Structure 1
């Protein structure tokens, strides 16, 4: 039998063999099952596969950025922290690192690398060797990034892999290799919930992607293998080892030389980390204020397709008035001062703390807690509720101005909250209203309440400049003298305003000049100036200067019993260095869409009318310069060494609940407030709680740092306008005046006496004295003529 016949008989026997038939049948059935499976995936049985049209018009949620007036990124609004960049913005070494590490044959395949897939099939699936990798190309990973991986139970891996292979092929048909790389780097997830290379560069290195160095690019690409395990913020050493693997791969495939690789490996990972979470980073209160304004503002504009803008998805660029460098200086000053004043505050109370010992205050606050109200609705008694609130658990509290986790009860954490002082800080350009620094509280994570946009507090003596401005506008001479003595006002329920400190000059024959009385914040005289001017005229003057809140028609507003916002004070005080005109604070300069089209741009509002004369403005600046040079704010000179042109006013409210300072310089108006959010709790003494101690130092620290930064020379070196000769002449008077016998008998033209009568009656008596004085001097002139 020849070999051909032998071979033919072998195949005939094999075909007739029952086992062979089974094996062939199983193979054919398996092949058919695979084809059926592939068909079910392809035709959408496991979910629709994106078609060419969807892939061509890819839409991704893009973070909107908030920028300062110099174009520096302050923060973002996002669902996914993603910003888009173009291919020409990507450094070559970044692209090379990606290809060398994730897909060495990227430029050779058409979306699916068959060689890699076979390697995965045999090594990973059949031999259980995880070292072979996932077999996904960059294009397949892009498909996953764009369209996700639905859960199909046991079939999830094969279904999703095949879907990604199909989509990858379609991506390669539509997009060039460079476009695929760009799409990938714009959508891939990096550490700390960051999407896209631009966002990662800004978060971890505080720079744009174009400025990344070789070792920085290798570090970020290294995190793609496992973005938590190789997070350079959390696991620096592990991340550095992974970076070196990336550099080794780059050398292996000829993208860098051995010397370049070794040089990069010698560098330790050095991050400049910036979080863009809403609770963290620079100016969180300001960013939240911008977000709220955008909610209303963007409703006025539509996208080209007629739909509404979405600040979380549409990649808007919001340019603001804030100066990030100034903001960071302000935040540093706030942190340093509030840490100090909080310690002073707690130490002064000692063991007799109102947030712990005062049951009325504590129980009132406890019953306002949402958890208390929830348990109350569930029918628990107060005793049962307290038992629940006394259970200890991990709680985030603010301690020494730092977020601290303690094992304490809800009631313990309430005490931490009650004892915490809070603050507001606003700095704006008086000529434009552009807000340059904005601090709404001590810590946005713990205290969402914004003390600039939401709060109104009694303003204390910071209201007095409105009283004195009204007096000057209504004919009171700059060198008018008022008696310092305390007076009981019969027309106001026997009200007797007094001064913060007892003075040896407190008698009816000692008079202070207007300048001295304001600069030393003399309460008794402030009320007399208001009485002399008229409360209605003072209220009208304050409103003309930018105060929008309703003001009570009572004389106590001279001492700041009205509740106003920081913005109102800043607007009104700006008039002293803005040609006597109030200014409206604003935050947003323009909004640009992701294509660069300007959606909205700030327009200057019509100039407000002058609220008072040039002479009054110059006189008031001289009064408030004296506050800094010789009055209640002198520590700006002797403690902080500030030699700038500064005017200002301190303020302290009843029971030391609120401390204020308003600092005026020719190109910047700054308002600071410090107090407790619980109005029942104040400082335990005026020594600690007065504006000069509790609020002014924040401004002092802030301006001292501005002086050290040449960037702000234009602000810090500015000078007030020189007062006119007439104003200078009108201010030539002594601070203090002792009434003589002749003055008592006939009155002095420059002294104004107001006893406890109402204003109209007091004015009549003053007019009578003027007539007597005029008649006496006429008599002397006649005698001399004779």
Structure 2
């Protein structure tokens, strides 16, 4: 009725248009509110918001060493965020944050005026932090101008609901814990750790401004990628803080003069401290989570925000990795020089063809139906690829075959240190480079252990009544019933005339004597002894067992050798101490697994320690003293396998056990000479260099200055004999030192 009284047609059209637009907007808002363009979360859903949280891995000395995540996020509480960061955020992103209730109408009018009337495309979007939070929680799914408008309206509704549920501080933390900082990093804590290697609460004002500055464009203002852009944006944040009276102009000007200084720490799974250890923890955690699901507990190591506290000592691990790199770099160089142009990866066509045909690219093209010449053409095609060595990562023009042969030549290693009383892993080096060599030589690899097995043989002998001062001839023997098998030594020319005590034979790793000790003891009894010491791997029931032809994992061997330092009881190496939820409430504690029964008597354990101390003091491992000048209490055993393919060193100290292996992943390639590939040269230096580093750090005095218990008088009496006895005149007269003795290997004691 009122509308009909309006005579001016233009006014009538204007009012009608306003009514139509208003009605349309109302209907649109109502439709959005009712979920016509997608469901809007209600207050109950918003009250029960849960993050996808990265699980964190900590060392025993409380250092964050890794994470498992789909999105790198570590939520924190308001109290853990510095005031300067909150002020920087509010100043640059939403200066009226504390004055609105989720929607800043004044800002919206400003944006509308500048964008629509003045065509200023740089006017911004007028979104509040609450609206940005809504976008973070419920990301936009469709693009286009109309869909953008719909999304913004939905975000306004969600923002208003958030403001009705949460306090301003809660909204700030929900925002800071969910917002992306680029580099697959979400939340302020993860960003602070990644870009500055410190917790958010430790951020300086200029660092806070740098991170807050990234929020406008996480890639364009990424300080790692575009440092100049990031610096300019940081300074704009500082100026905004001055404009909003958070800091003085003098302080802003002073901070603007500071250079951009990052301490970037990427939680790249291939890099960082102890990557092989972290991967083994991940595997064990996946198994744990599966077992928990079977019990009705739903844990996901990538999203549940678990805290995994491990046994690793981060300082020890860093020093161990440094020692490994220091030694392996030089050893690799000497290894390649020793072969020269005769290197198998250069000249052995049979081996090269085998490597090519067993490679994944070859198999892929073969399965695709390509002919042999087509496959080889593809594999020999040159392209720009990155090849790594101990000196650098370098882009080179190389083929797939070049790459395969390049990595074929690398020596690798596995080195494990444990607490012998509990089995807690202190250091874990599964290989030389996790990025290029994923295979873990501690938990996955079984290699022949060589002379590192001999202490078990000698322990079995002692347990079966053979006295340590029993003498065995070093003369080489050909065993007829073993197809003429004839173990030899690489020692003295007149060795056929020498008779060794067990201590001297073990410390100098005399092969002929080790086989005779095994023969006298009985193979079956040696295998039983190994089982008592925790060796579950099936061992070969052959005389060559004395020389370490058995293939055993490093962690299994470590558990067995721990018995010499743990009152005769073996242990099972373990990596995880406890698991908690994000609030540090304990979910599970892992207890050490220690054998219930002794594997040998206390006296025989002391005798074995004394024998292995002799190995270090005057035997095959004597370069620990002579070359490296190490005076610590150490017992040990070197090991070298046939054709110099595996080098070992087992080191026992009163508080720590270390086992190190060095060799090539390809079993067909060994060291070119024993002098280069023996355990004392290839494996021992990694331990020796590491101990030198521990000795230089007083915090490790409890390990490095620990002493072995003084042997009892009866033990010293048992070992009180001449190390070597020489054959008498008449025996030497009728013995030809160049001729092998021929006999059968006695099997009467060797029934299994």
Choose from 485, 494, 511 the match for 2:484.
494
Any conservation in 2 of the 1:583–1:608 contact (CA below 8 Å)? no
The Cα offsets for residues 483-505 of structure 1, whole Å up to 9 and x where unpaired, read as 22211111211011112xx4344
Any conservation in 1 of the 2:53–2:69 contact (CA below 8 Å)? yes
Kindly state the Cα deviation for residue 264 of structure 1 after the two structures are TM-superposed: 3.1
**Matches of 1:631 and 1:125, distance apart in 2:** 88
Alignment of 1:239-278 (within 5 A): 239-278=230-269
Residues 581 and 63 of structure 1: CA distance in aligned 2, closer, same or farther (over 3 Å): same
2:676 matches 1:688: yes
The Cα offsets for residues 602-653 of structure 1, whole Å up to 9 and x where unpaired, read as 1244643111112211111111112111122222223322111111111111
Q: Secondary structure at the match of 2:427?
A: strand
Residues 623 and 124 of structure 1: CA distance in aligned 2, closer, same or farther (over 3 Å): farther
Residues 12 and 58 of structure 1: CA distance in aligned 2, closer, same or farther (over 3 Å): closer
Alignment of 1:451-530 (within 5 A): 451-499=441-489, 502-530=490-518
Aligned residues between the structures? 744
Kindly state the Cα deviation for residue 133 of structure 1 after the two structures are TM-superposed: 2.5
The Cα offsets for residues 401-422 of structure 1, whole Å up to 9 and x where unpaired, read as 6544433221111112211221
2:212 matches 1:221: yes
The Cα offsets for residues 319-346 of structure 1, whole Å up to 9 and x where unpaired, read as 1111111111111122222222211111
2:208 matches 1:200: no
Choose from 169, 177, 182 the match for 1:186.
177
Deviates more, 1:385-394 or 1:563-572: 385-394
Residue in 1 that maps onto 2:153: 162
**Matches of 1:102 and 1:387, distance apart in 2:** 57
Residues 125 and 720 of structure 1: CA distance in aligned 2, closer, same or farther (over 3 Å): farther
Residues 451 and 126 of structure 1: CA distance in aligned 2, closer, same or farther (over 3 Å): farther
Residues 13 and 164 of structure 1: CA distance in aligned 2, closer, same or farther (over 3 Å): closer
The Cα offsets for residues 325-375 of structure 1, whole Å up to 9 and x where unpaired, read as 111111112222222221111121112221232122121121122221121
Residue in 2 that maps onto 1:597: 585
Residue in 1 that maps onto 2:399: 409
Deviates more, 1:391-400 or 1:719-728: 391-400
Q: Secondary structure at the match of 2:397?
A: strand
**Matches of 1:708 and 1:259, distance apart in 2:** 46
2:640 matches 1:652: yes
Residues 505 and 354 of structure 1: CA distance in aligned 2, closer, same or farther (over 3 Å): closer
Q: Secondary structure at the match of 2:437?
A: coil
Kindly state the Cα deviation for residue 122 of structure 1 after the two structures are TM-superposed: 2.5
Q: Secondary structure at the match of 1:179?
A: helix
Q: Secondary structure at the match of 2:342?
A: coil
**Matches of 1:26 and 1:756, distance apart in 2:** 116
Residue in 1 that maps onto 2:50: 59
**Matches of 2:390 and 2:542, distance apart in 1:** 41
The Cα offsets for residues 210-244 of structure 1, whole Å up to 9 and x where unpaired, read as 22222221221121122222222233333223222
Choose from 117, 120, 135 the match for 2:126.
135
- Structure possessing the higher radius of gyration over alpha carbons: 1
Any conservation in 2 of the 1:461–1:560 contact (CA below 8 Å)? yes
Deviates more, 1:506-515 or 1:15-24: 15-24
Residue in 2 that maps onto 1:327: 317
Residue in 2 that maps onto 1:782: none
Any conservation in 2 of the 1:206–1:273 contact (CA below 8 Å)? yes
Residue in 1 that maps onto 2:602: 614
Residue in 1 that maps onto 2:737: none
Alignment of 1:93-132 (within 5 A): 93-132=84-123
Kindly state the Cα deviation for residue 129 of structure 1 after the two structures are TM-superposed: 2.5
Is there any run of 5+ residues in structure 1 with no aligned partner, and where? 1-10, 747-753, 764-786
**Matches of 1:192 and 1:623, distance apart in 2:** 55
Kindly state the Cα deviation for residue 24 of structure 1 after the two structures are TM-superposed: 5.0
2:92 matches 1:91: no
Any conservation in 1 of the 2:423–2:592 contact (CA below 8 Å)? no
Choose from 412, 424, 432 the match for 2:422.
432
Residue in 1 that maps onto 2:372: 382
2:330 matches 1:344: no
Deviates more, 1:625-634 or 1:502-511: 502-511
Kindly state the Cα deviation for residue 175 of structure 1 after the two structures are TM-superposed: 0.3
2:550 matches 1:559: no
Residue in 2 that maps onto 1:317: 307
Kindly state the Cα deviation for residue 757 of structure 1 after the two structures are TM-superposed: 2.8
Residues 532 and 13 of structure 1: CA distance in aligned 2, closer, same or farther (over 3 Å): closer
Residue in 2 that maps onto 1:282: 273
2:431 matches 1:441: yes
Is there any run of 5+ residues in structure 2 with no aligned partner, and where? 735-739
Residue in 1 that maps onto 2:654: 666
Across the aligned residues of Structure 1 and Structure 2, the Cα RMSD in angstroms comes to 2.5
2:552 matches 1:570: no
2:34 matches 1:43: yes
Residues 135 and 506 of structure 1: CA distance in aligned 2, closer, same or farther (over 3 Å): farther
